[in-house]
Structure 1
Amino acid sequence: MDQDAEHTLTSLLSSLTGSAQRMLTFTVLWHPELARVGEQAFASPGSRQIALNRFAPLFGRPGGTPLGLGDRRIARDPVMLLRDAADQVTIVTPQSRMSIGVDGETLAGGATLSMAAVERGVVLALGGCVLLCMHWSDQLPRLNSSKTLLGVSGAVLRLHESIRQAAGTLLPVLLLGETGTGKELVAQAIHAGSPRRDRPLVAVNMATLSETLAAADMFGAVKGAYTGADSARRGWFAEAGDGSLFLDEIGDTPGTVQPMLLRVLETGTYRPLGAAADVRSGARVIAATDQDLGHGYNQALLRRLEGFVIHLPPLRARREDIGLLIRHFIMQWENAGNAPAELPTTLIDALCRYDWPGNVRQLAMVVRRALIAAVDGPAPAFEVLVPEVEQPPQPSNVAGRLPVGGVAPDDAVRKVTRRAKLSELDHDAVLAALEDNGWQVGAAALALGVSRPSMYKLIDDHPDIRPAVAIPLAELQSAVGACGDDVVLCAQMLKTPSEALRRHLRGVGLLA
């Protein structure tokens, strides 16, 4: 282990052999050189003081060359970080004109951060140009070759290990995680890493199945098995064959299908509707949900689905990955041929400090909206991009920050939004949610407390909301003539979701 004078690592290790202590870690959330986002520096487990300036500590990736932060706006005179026996971290500011921000507040003097505050991830802003996340690590980084499951956090490294283990088994897999955490991406990664990678991966959203046709959708039906069955029908299990069957929103499985699904998991066989004999299935089931299946769900089926359980971390539990994700979305934007757009560091700071109830999906949506606006002018403020209904209660000062020598307050209890039942939501509530959120389906779903697939179901059932493709061309032309390129305004006028409307307008040549 190589160390500098401040006891920070100058070479990256792969494990913490011989030490059970967590390391104080710094991850680059933002940097004028975007390629440096995601680089990390680690204080050795026993170190009690760290100097943070233009040249130290050294940041890097596994296999890369460690470098100081380098930007001239960061002072040579170091910010000193002092870790005490209770794992509180005291910040001592230098005698320089460099601005220092701690969780969105300008630091004028010293401050002490509780262990819990560092646990949540503290965003440090240096010189108005570089953002760091200060957090604890129980392991050093490993190379992440995934192009979709991005991250440098311990949570993501552990997720990759779970995916590798699950891919090597034949057991059913149950993915548990909040909405927007990437459950379908994990299912794809498990399939791609398994011996079934060259066979089909069939994805089914259980929330979209109707009670009357769910069994036929899942298991197929012979001709004449039910009214309207004019020909034989293959089910999803037959489509998957010896590949993988991904059952998303498994908590919304219709009650009539749950015993049938249990049988195929127990015996490996099922019977299509109206058939005279059973059919053997070789499909490996991967299920996912953001619901608590402890009550009101077939518990025998749940036990079968729990062959291998993977918990996906929410974004707030891996704050150090947010900058890397933002950079990824910006690169996606530019690679799609869009005009380059620059987002201010103050906005990135706010994005990194937010807790993201909609997780990666919501972050992606907000970043893209910011990029769209930033092409022709300044990027919107964070408060404009994130609807007020999604804002968590904001403390009057930095969470977990104390006067030097103070006592840490009790951790605040997080409030979890209750998952709404579709039967509780009337047409007026659905329409109001869409209107309040710019006719964005994802944002409206978050506001109502439902999943995105459930939101689509509510939209389909609404008498006043039309799919964009069903709107007459003359009416589309009239709306575009009145609203110009403002798709959100067009969506409000036409009462149709804005994302689908944008795609349709481009398809018919009404939008560049």
Structure 2
Amino acid sequence: METLNGVDTGPERRASGVAHGLRFTLLYHPDLRRIGARATTVAVPGYAVPLSRLEPEFAQPRSHECAPLCDPHVSRKPHHVTWGADESVTITPAGRGQLSVDGQPIDETHRFPPDVLRAGLLLQLSRKIVILVHAVTTAPPAPRYGLVGDSDALEVVLRSIARVADLQVPVLLRGETGAGKERVAQAIHQASPRAGRPWLAVNMAALAPTTAAAELFGYAKGAFTGAHQRHAGLFERAHGGTLFLDEIGDMSMDVQAMLLRALETGTILPLGDTEQRAVDVRVIAATDVDLEQAIAQGRFRAPLLHRLQGYTITIPPLRQSREDIPRLLLHFLREELARVGDLRRLEPPADGALPWFPRSFMVRLLQHSWPGNVRELRNVARQLVISSRGADAIVIDESLERTLEQARQTPRPPSDAPRLAERRDADASTANPADHPMDREVDEDALLRALRQSRWSIGPAAATLGVSRTALYRLIERSPRVRKAADIPEDELMRCHHACGGDLDAMSARLEVSKRGLTLRLRELGRSGRLREAPPD
């Protein structure tokens, strides 16, 4: 159930599948269990939805348990989000410095046009909560088939699965690499009368013309040198079930011809055999190639395309369903943390403690364009868990930093449409372009907590704050509350060195400076002769 202020938002309208409305989806909350919760209001032009610590109430999809944000850092005084008759939205902030939209702080009323709203507005409340606001067409929820996510884009795919699953027609899945085409194919199989019967998958691009016939259709004993016994091919082994043909846009023309004949006749002829064999196979094919263009270029056979696309499902890229990114990420993090026995990382933080997964890093992930889609997101989750083992906060290693660096300047919106409000905050146009957009979102208290929690280690502190090492060094340099090793008076440094017996970790914790900076300072004193012996690295 989706709610607004704890009230079911129009079951009659939802059942019709045509009621437009606004949806508020929690993309980040310090209690990670609340990510993905939603509140939805039906379209009432001029009605202002209050957004504060106490309202509206959010519920996970298909759940009746509702609760407001309840974060002490979020003001009780509400921001107001107003739906317009032209399907625009107007946002009135509660006060200065409490709200940013798509990374831009707003301190007065802004109107956002319909195309921007359809792409989704990313709201950050008091630098603690991230909410996606977007227009929706509500309808009864479709069966999930084990797929993770609740975006409108996924709902379209789920409804397509429900329509075609029980029909004996071939299905063509189209979408970018890593978008989850094989998972959708498996969902079709599991939802069909063929569930429980054979499911086989093959990468058609990997089939060489010389071996494709044997792999697809099998061979008889003695068909060629080394064929010591009969071999059943993929079509025969999938009899009664489903055969998933992946990467069909990259297979050779010879293999295309073999496949077309089998699909047209419903029979196969194993190599070296003289008898055709009838096969009952449901074929689901997938590609990220523009097949129409491939046909025009002579690289794909038009009759094969017509045979394969009995029904086509287009799977949207991840950047067009940003509200699914946090839920998918948590799903993958749970899987990876369970493998290493560290699921406690996802528990709510203790009072005053920083969350293991910080808000600012989630924002970076939401701004990423995800060229590798769900597969790339799964890899990011695995990289985070492995690189963070034994650390108090997530560790963003060099490889992951390079991946996310691409999205750091100007994130591409999900619909590739311009994301411009009718006016911008004047400060945005005068901001220093060299500054990282996240730098301005880290307050002094959060900076100090992260440094202390990480024992003044730059890498873990940067990961906790969700910024790069370079950005963290800039923040430290600008902060009047953070000491640098170079600023410590020499007599204080010498007393601390003596008291700690030269132990760098103890000195770093006592002086509250980075170990690296401390090492460099002590080496300098050692070279100058003012320190009898520089401590070891």
State the TM-score, normalizing by the size of structure 1: 0.72
Counterpart amino acid of residue 119 in structure 1: R
Contact 1:62 1:141 in 2 (8 A): no
Q: For structure 2, which runs of at least 5 residues remain unmatched after alignment?
A: 346-355, 427-537
Name which of 182, 191, 206 aligns with 1:193: 191
Corresponding residue for 2:358? 344
Indicate yes or no: 2:401 matched with 1:385.
Answer: yes
Q: Is the 8 A contact 2:337 2:385 kept in 1?
A: no
Q: Does 1:67 align with 2:82?
A: no
1:132-143 aligned within 5 A: 132-140=131-139, 142=141
What CA distance in whole angstroms lies between the structure 1 residues aligned with 2:199 and 2:327?
A: 28
The equivalent of 2:224 in structure 1 is: 226
Alignment of 1:395-414 (within 5 A): 399-403=419-423
Which residue of structure 2 lines up, in the alignment, with residue 373 of structure 1?
387
Amino acid at match of 1:116: D
- In the alignment, which residue of structure 2 is the partner of 1:43? 41
Structure 1 CA distance, aligned partners of 2:35 and 2:410?
27
| Cα-to-partner distance string for 1:225-247 (whole Å, 9 max, x where unaligned) | 33443433221111112111111
Partner of 2:157: 159
Q: CA-to-partner distance for each residue in 1:360-393, whole Å, 9 max, x for gaps?
A: 1111111222233333254356995352685487
| Per-residue Cα deviation, 1:191-239 (whole angstroms, up to 9, x for no partner) | 1111111211011111211121111111111233334434332211111
Letter in 2 for 1:79: H
- 1:130 maps to 129
Q: Report matched runs for 1:3-82 at 5 Å.
A: 10-13=7-10, 15-16=13-14, 20=18, 22-48=20-46, 49-60=48-59, 61-82=61-82
Report the CA distance between 1:16 and its aligned residue: 3.6
The number of aligned residues is 401
Corresponding residue SS for 1:402: coil
Question: What is the CA–CA distance in structure 2 between the aligned matches of 1:76 and 1:87, rounded to whole Å?
Answer: 27
Are the structure 2 counterparts of residues 84 and 330 from structure 1 closer, same or farther at C-alpha, using a change threshold of 3 Å? same
Question: How much has 1:182 moved relative to structure 2?
Answer: 0.9
CA contact (8 A) 1:13 1:141 kept: no
Q: Structure 1 pair 293/143, CA: closer, same or farther in 2 (3 Å)?
A: closer
Aligned-residue offset at 1:51 = 1.2
Hey, what does 2:270 align to over in structure 1?
Answer: 272
Query: Is 2:306 the counterpart of 1:286?
Result: no
TM-score (norm 2): 0.69
Larger Rg: 2
- Structure 2 CA distance, aligned partners of 1:293 and 1:206? 15
**Aligned pairs for 1:474-485 within 5 A:** none
**1:308 maps onto 2:311 in alignment:** yes
3-state SS of the aligned residue for 1:346?
helix
Q: Distance in 1 between matches of 2:16 and 2:210?
A: 60
Identical amino acids, percent of aligned pairs? 36
Q: 1:141, CA displacement in angstroms? A: 5.8
Any idea what SS the aligned residue of 1:356 has? coil
Unmatched tracts of structure 1, length 5 or more: 407-512
Give, in whole Å, the separation in 1 of the partners of 2:110 and 2:131.
17
Q: Which residue of 2 aligns with 1:421?
A: none
1:145-156 alignment to 2 at 5 Å?
Answer: 145-147=144-146, 149-156=147-154
Query: Where in structure 2 are the equivalents of 1:425-440 lying within 5 Å?
Result: none
User: Could you say what the CA RMSD is over the residues aligned between the two structures, in angstroms?
Assistant: 3.0
Distance 1:372 1:366, change over 3 A: same
Q: Partner of 1:357 in structure 2?
A: 371
User: For 1:224 and 1:196, how far apart are their aligned partners in 2?
Assistant: 34
Equivalent residue number for residue 259 of structure 1: 257
Q: Per-residue deviation at 1:113?
A: 2.3
1:441-452 correspondence to structure 2 within 5 Å: none
Q: Distance in 1 between matches of 2:383 and 2:31?
A: 23
Q: Structure 2 counterpart of 1:387, which letter?
A: T
Q: Whole-Å Cα distance in 1 between the matches of residues 395 and 303 of structure 2?
A: 50
